[in-house]
Amino acid sequence: MPLYEFTAPCHFGMEAVLKREIINLGYEIVRVEDGRVSFRGEASAIARANVFLRTAERVLLCVGRFKAYSFDELFEKTKALPWEEYLPSDGRFWVKKASTTKSKLFSSSDIQSIVKKAIVERLKQTYRIEWFKEDGAIYPLRVFIYKDEVTIALDTSGESLHKRGYRKLISKAPVSETLAAAILLLSPWNKDRILVDPFCGSGTFPIEAAMIGANIAPGMNREFTAEAWKNILPMKDWYEAVTEANDLIRDDIDMDIQGYDIDGDIVKNARQNAVDAGVEHLIHLQQRPVSALSHPKKYGFVITNPPYGERLEEREALPGLYREIGEAFRRLDSWSCFVLTSYDQAEKYIGRKADKNRKIYNGMIKTYLYEFMGPRPPRRKKQED
């Protein structure tokens, strides 16, 4: 079976989490760059990566990588790639996106046009036809140029992988599903530890945690562009990936995952999202302000995305809100707390310097993940035989 190279974009700063996911799926890492991880696998990796990866934004099938310092060079080297191995004569293909950084070629629209023309010229020669109907399956392309190195890839996912299909009802400024999963996997939290999100909004952190704990693959209930690519992988590969995912689900586990929000309507929406994700029985969602946050058990986790105060009138309320967050944390003195926010005064009003601070982009908003680590729980004594 031939091996292909794939590239999976992710949130900046979360490359190590995605790399670990890919290795756990059994694939060889090719390279790790800012915001993306490349790996090698057979065609079936298209299905398995799309179904299983929690922290990737999409899965791209790399057709070629080369250096180009001029548009002529871009045209000729694109044309030299074996496009007939990827695109059938009736395939509908276009360059959906072109991005360029620190490179001689900087016009995205020109890059898109030249790459498309080069592919057409190659396919004209190969298929010996002058005009393409383009009435078959769609094959969207993406081009990345970084320091004059061009990567051309087919987008196998279609809609971004953060669209799991369960979040039809969303709150304002939600954290994306892929970023929530990445933060959970980055933290020391596991399904045996208590998890509370006091600003649960759409319920993304609790729902993603429940899916991780129950081993529910994030892409099981959605469609992907590459399902129509019969020339590259048969439909049975998709069926096998979903069957594999179904066999791995552990839906009868006992977890303590809670989500609160001060807005009752938001909580109702979160409950419906949990139902749509199939994890409502694993999560407790309740209307409650952060000032009422408490828990009798020790060594739990607060992982949350509190309000940022993007509007001026909301920003004036942030010092009081973050003081309440700090007071709640102090009541949970054995817990670990992870706070994702763009509010740069968060540590000041929480009243404690974070043990670690990571810069992360939530969409186009620059945010910080403040990590306040609690003590490790004592090791459980091994039962004597």
Angle at 289 between CA 287 and CA 291, to 5 degrees: 150
Report if pTM > 0.85.
yes
Instruction: Look at residue 163 and tell me if it is in a domain.
Output: no
Domain extent for 295? 177-217+231-372
Least confident of 167-176, 192-201, 256-265, 318-327: 167-176
- Mean pLDDT within 310-318: 74
**CA-closest candidate to residue 237, choices 56, 85, 43, 88:** 43
**Per-residue pLDDT at 130 exceeds 90:** no
Give the pLDDT band of residue 311 (cuts 50, 70, 90): low
- For residue 61, what are the contacts with CB-CB under 8 A and spacing of at least 6? 4, 5, 6, 46, 86, 153, 154, 156, 226, 232
DSSP codes, 285-346: EEE--GGG---SSSS-EEEE------SHHHHTTHHHHHHHHHHHHHHTTT-EEEEEE--TTH
User: What confidence tens digit (pLDDT) does each residue in 183-235 have?
Assistant: 999 999 999 999 999 999 999 999 999 999 999 999 999 999 999 999 999 99
Q: Taking the CA of residue 117 as centre, how many other CA atoms within 13 Å lie in the half-sphere pointing to its CB?
A: 11
**Token couple for 214:** 């129950």
**CA-closest candidate to residue 206, choices 288, 292, 273, 306:** 273
Phi-psi region of 13 (alpha: psi -120 to 50; beta: other; left: phi over 0): left
User: What confidence tens digit (pLDDT) does each residue in 57-82 have?
Assistant: 999 999 999 999 999 999 999 999 99
Q: Residue 70 corresponds to which amino acid?
A: S
Give the pLDDT band of residue 364 (cuts 50, 70, 90): confident
186 and 266 housed in the same domain: yes
| CATH assignment at residue 114 | 3.30.2130.30
Residue-level pLDDT at 382: 57
48 and 125 housed in the same domain: yes
Residue-level pLDDT at 385: 43
| CATH assignment at residue 281 | 3.40.50.150
Q: How many separate domains does the chain show?
A: 2
**Per-residue pLDDT at 43 exceeds 70:** yes
- Mean pLDDT within 292-318: 86
**Per-residue pLDDT at 174 exceeds 80:** no
Axis-axis angle for helices 177-186, 15-24 (nearest 10): 80
**Per-residue pLDDT at 163 exceeds 60:** yes
**Token couple for 81:** 């790639």
Q: What is the mean pLDDT of the chain?
A: 94
